Amino acid sequence: MNNRRFARRLAQELPRWEAQGWLRSGAAPLILAELEGTRAPFASVLALVGSVLLGLGVITWFAAHWNEMGKLARLLLVFGVLIGSHAAHGLCLAREGLPRLAGGLALLSSLLFGAAIMLIGQIYHIDAHFPDGIALWSLGSLLAAWMFGLQPVLILALGLAALWNGFEQFDYGRVNGLLPVFLAASGALLVRQEWRFASRAWGLLALFWIAGWHGLPWLDGTGGDLAHVRLLAVQVLGVAGLWAFCQATAHPFARQVRPGFLLFALIGVFLFTFPTLRPSAPVSPPSTWIGALALSAAFYAGGIFRLARSSGLPPPRLVAGLALAAFAALLLVVEVVTPWAGSVPALIWNAIFLAVLYWIGDLGVRQGDAALVNSAFAGFVVWLLARYFDTFWSLLDRALFFMAGGVLLMAVGGWVEWRRRRLLRDLAPAEPP
């Protein structure tokens, strides 16, 4: 919940509640003072910044004096600092009025836990897979977030998991198969706690893991033709289903992660509008893709039907939306199973992409969701720019190309912005554009 918005709304309502007799006279200032005291944003910021600075100071002190100490002294110092931070955290929890400082000390303990892992590995010259240490650090921070219910500690855990995943996928060239377990455990915590910033970080981490499968093969030009095009189709199908599930629920966690899922699905469909992005050979053997395709299709079908039941669209638009969703899913399955080269599939994908944008915009207008309307218009502008550069770059003189493009894009851009603002202004639950 937005505390500032809640405080303003409460300040407006309290006089009316007093007039109705629901509150005793003089209670309103006490309630507002209590709310302001619980917010304490400056105390939170100072405690968190202080914990980070103290953690950095301890780590740099270790680095400066490390060679002067023996092995036993190093080990005792590492464990002593770590135990001391946990003891200080427990002491603050036991004292009333120090919850912010306790949160800062919990974050400090998580930082020192990572330092202890690295230092112990250095003391005993442990020869291990380097990302495993970061994985252990992130799991320890996740456990601390579960135990103490602190959003900053969970954000630290998510950031460390992203670092762990990046090393696994880009430095060692392999899929991080343990990350879904981490995502499931952290997602369960977010469903309980309803933390906004950590939920957004969780969504970004999930998409980073999915998109990271394509990083190395497409960057070095070795995998963009066959397996990774098919993998993209499978992932777009599954992520579109996850977006539909999240769009059909009002849970705060779902509201935070669904924009990222929608963006990924739209980008995936948009990539298939290019004629060059096509598998050139049949999948072999087909059995290797059946499991992934079936799982993604199940997510997709469940999400679409749940969204259809909760969308509130009139029957004709609902039938048209379901038919569009089924046809798009069929095309993604075709992209996985068999090659379909040439300009015809690209033309069909362009039509599908525009139809999806229209359906999303219509759904946003009917549900009063400004984010959906903005996504639809942004997708249309990107599609228009891509098709303009694809089609007219080689047909016109360069000067005419830029002059005509400038006039066209200014006119279309003006119309799109005017239309977008008009639709947002007419939304039932008014939201800022």
**Residue 1 to residues 39, 147, 151, 196, 252, Cα–Cα distance (Å):** 12, 22, 14, 8, 9
pTM passes above 0.85: no
DSSP class of 223 = S
The span from the CA of 354 to the CA of 358, in Å, is 6
Radius of gyration of the chain (CA): 27
DSSP class of 68 = G
pLDDT of residue 392: 59
State which H helix or E strand residue 73 sits in: helix 71-94
The span from the CA of 76 to the CA of 73, in Å, is 5
Question: What is the pLDDT confidence band of residue 407, given thresholds at 50, 70 and 90?
Answer: low
The span from the CA of 124 to the CA of 133, in Å, is 14
Taking the CA atoms of 155, 160, 164 and 170 in sequence, report the sign of the dihedral they define. positive
Residue 103 has pLDDT above 80, yes or no: no
The span from the CA of 292 to the CA of 287, in Å, is 10
Cα atoms in the 13 Å half-sphere on the side-chain side of 56: 6
SS3 call for 366: helix
The amino acid at residue 420 is R
Most confident of 115-129, 178-192, 286-300, 393-407: 178-192
How much is the average pLDDT of 114-119? 75
The span from the CA of 332 to the CA of 299, in Å, is 14
If you average pLDDT over every residue of the chain, what do you get?
Answer: 76
Range scoring the smallest mean pLDDT among 21-30, 174-183, 269-278: 21-30
The span from the CA of 223 to the CA of 212, in Å, is 13
243 within 8 A of 258, measured Cβ to Cβ: yes
The amino acid at residue 37 is G
Looking at the chain, the whole-number percentage of residues with pLDDT higher than 70 is 62
Question: What is the pLDDT confidence band of residue 40, given thresholds at 50, 70 and 90?
Answer: very low
150 within 8 A of 103, measured Cβ to Cβ: yes
101 within 8 A of 92, measured Cβ to Cβ: yes
Which of 391, 290, 282 has its CA nearest to residue 340? 282
Four-point Cα dihedral 129, 131, 135, 141, nearest 10: 130
Taking the CA atoms of 19, 22, 24 and 30 in sequence, report the sign of the dihedral they define. negative
10 within 8 A of 32, measured Cβ to Cβ: yes
Question: What is the pLDDT confidence band of residue 280, given thresholds at 50, 70 and 90?
Answer: low
pLDDT of residue 333: 86
